[in-house]
Amino acid sequence: MSPSKQRPLAVVTGVGRRRSIAATIARGLAEDGWDLVLNFWQPYDERLDLERGTDDPDSIADDCRILGAEVTLVPGDLGDPEFPEQLIATRPTGRRVDGLVLSHCESVDSSILTTDVTSWDRHFNVNVRASWLLIKAFAEQLPAPAEPDDGATGRIVALTSDHTAGNLPYGASKGALDRLVIAAALELADRGVRSNLINPGPIDTGWMDDELRRSLTRATPAGRLGQPRDTADLVRFLFSDAGSWINGQLLHSNGGFQTS
């Protein structure tokens, strides 16, 4: 395939479980014509202890290949400061990474009084430091300056949250992520990067019990819980040419959750 006809390439993090936002994003991008580098970290998924199969990453990759994507699976701990650059470097020889989806996280419920320093540091290392290093490595392999008629050379979308009390280190680190990703829209403009965040609200990926499902549904004017495809559809739009005028934004795609 000639370079002009080559499929674009995206790195998607956090693709460890079939029932996840990241897995649905990966399948959606594959359907839209993207090749993929998919990152997961099995020890985190085991610690999370949510619904998953023993071969979920391979199964997700197979789904994407059926849709026509070339897929590279890259296990690795984003808490390791060396790994983000390595992840971007695992792109196929001669290829450029055109899109970056930050859908990984560290998330352990704790409060001001119950959070320990190790947990705090782990949250910021995974949710903020790794995201910064991924964005940095992503930007460094893009041409600079981008040609004026190139349009968007690179696309970044990160998943964020407005959690605060009871999930303190997660929420605080997501707040830092917001500033980082919006800064990327400004600082990386000369490389043709557009960079946005999505706050998806509560998405049913297997962590809710029946009582919580009922409560969150009542709090959502749309009258239903969010599903992974709701977030994936917005990522697909932001990665498309049709989404090219959206940049430097934190988008609430949550069915109106907590707005009424």
Distance CA 235, CA 12 (A): 11
On whether residue 258 sits in a domain, the answer given is no
Residues designated catalytic: 170
Domain assignment of residue 23, yes or no: yes
pLDDT at 151 over 70: no
Q: Does any domain span residue 106?
A: yes
**CA atoms within 13 A of residue 31's CA, in its CB half-sphere:** 14
Pairing assessment for the beta strands 35-40 and 154-159 based on DSSP bridges: unpaired
pLDDT classification of 132: cutoffs 50, 70, 90? very high
Report whether pLDDT(3) > 70.
no
Question: pTM score, two decimals?
Answer: 0.92
Residue 147 has pLDDT above 70, yes or no: no
Place of tokens 């839209």: 32
Measured between alpha carbons, how far is residue 8 from residues 13, 35, 48, 85, 98 in Å? 17, 6, 32, 19, 6
Residue 93 located in a structural domain = yes
Q: How confident is the model at residue 223 (pLDDT cuts 50, 70, 90)?
A: confident
The pLDDT of residue 19: 87
Does residue 260 lie in a domain region?
Answer: no
pLDDT at 7 over 60: yes
Q: Is the residue at 226 inside a domain?
A: yes
Asked if residue 143 belongs to a domain, the reply is yes
**Does residue 25 contact residue 103 with C-beta atoms inside 8 Å?**
yes
Enclosing domain of residue 88: 3-252
The CATH number covering residue 209 comes to 3.40.50.720
Dump pLDDT digits (tens) for 72-123.
Answer: 999 999 999 999 999 999 999 999 999 999 999 999 999 999 999 999 999 9
Predicted confidence band at 50 (pLDDT cuts at 50, 70, 90)? confident
Banded pLDDT at 150 (limits 50, 70, 90): low
pLDDT digits (tens, 9 = 90+) for 27-43: 999 999 999 999 999 98
Q: Flag whether 230 is in a domain.
A: yes
Q: What is the pLDDT of residues 92-106, one digit of tens each?
A: 999 999 999 999 999
Domain count, the chain: 1
Could you tell me the CA-to-CA distances from 239 to 14, 81, 102 in Å, in that order? Answer: 18, 27, 13
